[in-house]
Amino acid sequence: MDNRGRGEARSSLPSVHPEGRKFALICFGLAVIAALLAWETIAWPLAFLSLCILAFFRDPERVVPRGDDLLVAPADGIVTQIKLVEPPLELQSGEAGLGKAPVTRVSIYLSVFDVHINRSPCAGTIGAMNYVPGKFVNAELDKSSEENERQHLLIHRSDGVVVGMTQIAGMITRRIVPFVKPGDIVAAGQRVGLIRFGSRVDLYLPQGTSPQVLMGQRMIAGETVIAKLGQTAELEGLQQ
């Protein structure tokens, strides 16, 4: 339906990203083999696991809010940290990066129950992309942004504003899968990658921009507005 109520509203199951279909197929195949061998105690758990894999890699469509000055959530999950920090070295990148001055970092934690497709917070051109191997400590911890496996991205808007984003692997995550490469032009809310099995995404807001979300607030990737460029009035409180 459009914003005037025209059209037909209906619900449907979300599609499954191709990255997950192969894992589900392998798991289901093992379940079939176990069933043929009469190993029911193994077959049923494997069949259930294949359904869980399909659910984990679900890829629902999202309705991106319009507004050139809006920054939308790059990931589904809970806001676990809003903090003024110096950007990582990989995102400073001289004149083409965020620089060394402290900026606001909004951290979103994704549990295994969240959609793990990550999206671009704004329209622009993908600049530097830096993959950093690392550990797999709890992604909710502050040190995970410096110690865990991670992928840094810079997005250059047409107005010259640069937005930084970092995908961070969690305790049971073992791969960050990018969908874009440097030089690609992306739209706000466009899929840019995924992280397998629990993770965190950090969004670095440009100078002079304050977050319009609260600690504990649930984010919907591509839909929830995290900030409005140039708006510095911060929200106060804690989301319950």
CB neighbour class for 181 (10 Å; exposed up to 12, middle 13-18, buried from 19): exposed
% of the chain exceeding 90 in pLDDT: 45
Looking at 50, 120, 145, 199, which residue is catalytic?
Answer: 199
CB neighbour class for 42 (10 Å; exposed up to 12, middle 13-18, buried from 19): middle
pLDDT score at 211: 92
pLDDT score at 20: 79
Mean pLDDT by 10 residues, the chain (240 residues): 64 78 89 89 90 87 91 95 91 81 93 90 93 65 63 93 89 75 94 83 92 94 93 64
Delimit the domains of the chain by residue range: 15-59, 70-228
pLDDT score at 135: 61
Report the CATH fold assignment for 70-228: Glucose Permease (Domain IIA) (2.70.70)
Tell me whether residue 199 is one of the annotated catalytic residues: yes
pLDDT score at 99: 86
pLDDT in tens, 83-129: 999 999 889 876 678 888 999 999 999 988 899 899 999 999 999 89
pLDDT score at 104: 93
pLDDT score at 93: 74
CB-CB neighbours of 110 under 10 Å: 26
Query: At how many degrees (to 10) do helices 18-36 and 40-56 cross?
Result: 170
Report helix, strand or coil for 178. strand
Ramachandran sector of residue 51 (left: φ over 0; alpha: ψ -120 to 50; beta: rest)? alpha
Q: Report the C-alpha gap between 140 and 134 in whole angstroms.
A: 15
